[in-house]
Structure 1
Amino acid sequence: METPAIPMPKSAQEQEILGKLSAVRDQLLLLKRDRTKYIRSQDVVEHYEELVDLVKQLNEIRKHDQEHVENRVDKVLESCFQLISLFFMTIGRTSDVPAAYALTSTVKRLLDHLTEAGLYSPKDLDSLSNTLSRLDGILRNAEAQHSPYLIELLSKRAAFCKAMLSRLRQKLDQLEEPLQATYQKLISIMRSMSLANTKTKFSTSEVTKLQGNLKEIDESRVDGKFVDKEGNAYRGSEQVSELLNRCLAWSQIVLERKGVIPEAFRSRYEILSSVRNDLEKLSLTQAWSLRETDLYDFQRELDKIDESRVDGNFLDDEGKPAELYVQRTLLYLIRRSYGYIYYLMISSEPVSEALLPIYNQLQTLKRCLIEVKNSGGVSSVRELYPYVMKLTSIDNMRVDGKFMVGNDIPEGQGSISELLAECFELNYELRVAADEMENGASDKEDQTEE
């Protein structure tokens, strides 16, 4: 993010702001790296308020600058807001305006890549659309203490993303309905081949099977077109046929290259593979192991490689562009990684990391109780004792109705209390059902004895 291509500010006032912004960023990085204690709300809010104050000063300095050129101040400010945003997620304030900053950055990045590749499914767009709708709600209900600069910036970003999304959706709307399922299947096969291509151990049989699926779709065409029962080409047949041909060509290239990357691009491939693999592991264990601020380092690594492209191409040390196979392989890893970051952000729970262990235990208890209920309940109240003991032990952790950590009251009290109440309610329903079952059995015994 700090590259020599980004010029230093010319005015002494902006240079002073740069120094203060750099200090804020360094403090945030130190706070991010400290694993000895959980991140407290007051520490984050203090840095946020300091950042907002610096933005006010910067806006005042630039008020009459009609020809402002982006400089190092803008880049460091971006880093600060990105970090602050992830900190707000970490402390559980996921519905606050600052938390939306990192999410809009990632949504914008994903939309850029979908537009560039031209390969996406309705599911991709639906998820992004839902996220943007949620962000709209956050911005509409923004409280007065948040920076007007930040609210305006995020509103513009959200509007820009919605316009991009609309253009992407128009392309899919050109497909007649019967073709949409075929199109989505082709996207899925293309991604599965790219995944197989980037696995540590290449599997020829896996790619061959996917190629077979493509050939089945190809055989359903008539004279190279997708047609209805009357033999008329569906609207969008040419577009889907083009995608099918791309998939068939890619399957052949993947089978020929077998995951082997030229030495000139090997280091970038290994970095991107490592990032993708780490993010994949986090996506599987995120409830227990993710601190949202960790995503900052992954983003920086990805941004650096993604932004190193020239006219969309990766270049080797001699300035020669990568061949198609390398280009697509590296871009797949970048896009997949951004996708994982997006998933981890939207999965962020509205609970401070200090209370996440309790929250996760309650989530697990709730799932278990629902599973017990759906499988017919329990035959005896005794079977519920382990659940009751665990729920009671969590309930007894509260001090004056609050879950405390030292003298602090971390964010997420409402979410945990609500979850705890749901678990007690489920337990009560199961107990009542078990009591009725036991009483019914007892009544039958009495009737038999008579």
Structure 2
Amino acid sequence: MTDSPLPRIPLDPKEQPILDKLQSIRTELELLKRDRSTYVKSQDVLKLYEQVIEQVMILNEIRVKKPLEQNKVDYMLDDCFQLISLAYLTVGKNHEPPAVYSYISTIKRLLDHLKEATFYSQKDLEAVDKNLQDCLRYVERGRDQYSPHLLTLLDARIKVCEEILAELKLNLSELTPELIPHWEKLVSILRSLCGCNTRSKFPHDEVKEYSEELTKVQEELKEYSIHAYETTGTTEEKLAEMVGKMQFANAHPEPAPAAKTLIGTLLRRNLLWVTLIKQKQGRIAPSFQDTYDKLLSIRNKLEKLTLTQAWSLRETDLWDYQRQLDRIDEARVDGNFIDPVGRPSEIYEQRTLLYLLRKSYALIYQLLLTSEPVSEALLPIYNQLTTLRKCLLEVQKLGGVSSPRELYPYSMKLNSIDNMRVDGKFMVGDEIPDGQGRVTQLLEECFELAYDLRNDAEDNSSVEVTPSGEKPEPLAT
């Protein structure tokens, strides 16, 4: 079991029964997600959701005079909401308020890390902004159906995300249209360099190419009188000094920095980082090797899931990865990773570990966003139809078929799926899983594609028999 980090705050004796009940609910949710012998059922998830809301109501009554208190109960409550949220995604209820909880939790982590990193692209912010608006829409749509306790919690978390997002937008507000491409390029290069630094074999040639790109960008920026921000000392000391100044600026926000300062600082950071990783070549200090290996393993497993998501992912599985990452993230002291004897990491280990941590959160976010609003029970059918649709579109793209007979395999498969419906519904036992509309729509699209391809093939056959503009020759008598 992957427990959340628990704060050392005394627990009110009145809250102990709530903690015990929430722990019991969390255990049930974990058993539900681990049971691969059957599909996660909507009624099981709804029952546990209602039990959690009941405990929230009791907790709110106890905390009337201390609404801001945070202790073990709140962390256990977060676990329960997170698992329920992922379970909602698993049963296909992606656009309902409980499902929003996992989106918002991950967005908050990403925004915090973007703020700490002090470099990000406008596309990053636009994508997060759009998804926040989607979450708001789902919450508004569910106001009449779900507990106000949940909705109040979601509203507060969305507001916090919006405030951080506004601050991040302000930091880039001074960039002019002609400078934005250069900023985006520098952000992309720095991220790519961090990725190179975590390969099993250090990619010298690739790093060299990025170094040459940086030199090219540096020359281009001279036209705007933008130069790399200068610092003193060794490469590692220069980078540490720069990062320290950025973190201080985050803690004491001021008006948006001038575009030249912003880009010059990021350029210098790139140049220093490429020099440092060439020196280190992926060698991590032994005292941080365990943390590195753990983060690397999580990153690799999540990347594999992005490739096989449609066939292998049960969204509740993401909770295990989330909690492992949360434990590592929250174990940092003043933002620094700490070794077993309490010493903070050097700048090279710090930035490398942060890259893996942030990349892993980003992959979880990607998996959440690409989760289909279809119940796990219907995913086998949905995945087959998705593959059929891709095949039919590819056939259409390549010019269609020469004979309707070539469509028989597709038609047979579509008819076999269509015959699985009972009174127009795809049933699993006696249940009608969520996602019926999406699966039915996909089935209809496949039938329509097959119908169009068949008509085109028949028309082409007719044209071949009777060429356009010519009359058939009379039969000999």
Same fold (TM over 0.5): yes
Give 1:447's match in structure 2, choosing from 463, 467, 471: 471
Higher deviation after alignment, 371-380 or 384-393: 371-380
- Hey, what does 2:113 align to over in structure 1? 113
Higher deviation after alignment, 217-226 or 260-269: 217-226
User: 1:50-99 deviations in whole A, cap 9, x for unaligned?
Assistant: 11111111112222x23653111111011000000000000000011100
Contact 2:5 2:330 in 1 (8 A): no
Q: Does 1:98 align with 2:95?
A: no
Aligned AA for 1:239?
Answer: L
Q: 1:335 deviation in Å? A: 0.3
Aligned AA for 1:20?
Answer: K
Q: 1:355 deviation in Å? A: 0.7
Higher deviation after alignment, 249-258 or 214-223: 214-223
Distance 2:223 2:91 in 1: 59
Distance 2:189 2:225 in 1: 19
Q: 1:34 deviation in Å? A: 0.9
Identity of matched residues, %? 49
- Hey, what does 1:180 align to over in structure 2? 180
User: 1:246-294 deviations in whole A, cap 9, x for unaligned?
Assistant: 0011001011101111111110000000000000000111111111001
What is the aligned-residue RMSD (CA, Å)? 1.7
Distance 1:21 1:4, change over 3 A: closer
Distance 1:268 1:319 in 2: 14
Distance 2:104 2:139 in 1: 12
Contact 1:283 1:344 in 2 (8 A): yes
SS at 1:444 equivalent: coil
Q: 1:170 deviation in Å? A: 2.0
Give 1:299's match in structure 2, choosing from 322, 340, 345: 322
User: 1:207-265 deviations in whole A, cap 9, x for unaligned?
Assistant: 111111111111223388249xxxxxxx7233212111100110010111011111111
SS at 1:220 equivalent: helix
Q: 1:171 deviation in Å? A: 2.0
Distance 1:59 1:318, change over 3 A: same
TM-score by length of structure 2 reads 0.89
Give 1:363's match in structure 2, choosing from 386, 402, 409: 386
Distance 1:319 1:147, change over 3 A: same
Q: Does 1:342 align with 2:343?
A: no
- Hey, what does 2:29 align to over in structure 1? 28
Q: 1:179 deviation in Å? A: 1.1
- Hey, what does 2:432 align to over in structure 1? 409
Aligned AA for 2:105?
Answer: S
Distance 2:66 2:297 in 1: 44
Q: 1:7 deviation in Å? A: 2.8
Unaligned segments of structure 1, at least 5 residues = 228-234
- Hey, what does 1:393 align to over in structure 2? 416
Give 2:310's match in structure 1, choosing from 284, 287, 305: 287
Aligned AA for 2:336?
Answer: N
Higher deviation after alignment, 65-74 or 327-336: 65-74
Q: Does 1:425 align with 2:427?
A: no
Higher deviation after alignment, 369-378 or 95-104: 369-378
1:34-49 → structure 2 map (5 Å cutoff): 34-49=35-50
Contact 1:225 1:238 in 2 (8 A): no
Distance 1:449 1:336 in 2: 71
User: 1:92-143 deviations in whole A, cap 9, x for unaligned?
Assistant: 0001110000110000000000011111111211211111011011011114
Give 2:272's match in structure 1, choosing from 243, 246, 249: 249
Higher deviation after alignment, 156-165 or 335-344: 156-165
Distance 1:3 1:242, change over 3 A: closer
Q: Does 1:61 align with 2:84?
A: no
Distance 1:377 1:276 in 2: 41
TM-score by length of structure 1 reads 0.95
Distance 1:385 1:257 in 2: 59
Give 1:10's match in structure 2, choosing from 4, 9, 12: 12
Aligned AA for 1:83?
Answer: L
1:153-192 → structure 2 map (5 Å cutoff): 153-192=153-192
Distance 2:71 2:115 in 1: 28
Distance 1:67 1:79 in 2: 19
Distance 2:224 2:279 in 1: 25
Distance 1:67 1:158, change over 3 A: closer
Q: Does 1:434 align with 2:435?
A: no
Contact 1:90 1:292 in 2 (8 A): yes
Q: Does 1:276 align with 2:299?
A: yes
- Hey, what does 2:122 align to over in structure 1? 122
Aligned AA for 2:165?
Answer: L
Distance 1:84 1:187 in 2: 36
Distance 1:438 1:224, change over 3 A: closer
Distance 2:48 2:57 in 1: 14
Higher deviation after alignment, 269-278 or 216-225: 216-225
Higher deviation after alignment, 66-75 or 308-317: 66-75
Q: 1:408 deviation in Å? A: 1.5
Contact 1:2 1:72 in 2 (8 A): no
Higher deviation after alignment, 380-389 or 258-267: 380-389
Contact 1:220 1:226 in 2 (8 A): no
Q: 1:380 deviation in Å? A: 1.4
Count residues in correspondence.
Answer: 441
Contact 2:6 2:75 in 1 (8 A): no
SS at 1:297 equivalent: helix
SS at 2:381 equivalent: helix
User: 1:392-415 deviations in whole A, cap 9, x for unaligned?
Assistant: 111011111111111111111111
Unaligned segments of structure 2, at least 5 residues = 228-257
Q: 1:193 deviation in Å? A: 0.8
Contact 1:225 1:241 in 2 (8 A): no
Distance 2:302 2:163 in 1: 29
Runs of 4+ in 1 over 6 A off after TM superposition: none
Contact 2:4 2:323 in 1 (8 A): no
Contact 1:366 1:422 in 2 (8 A): yes
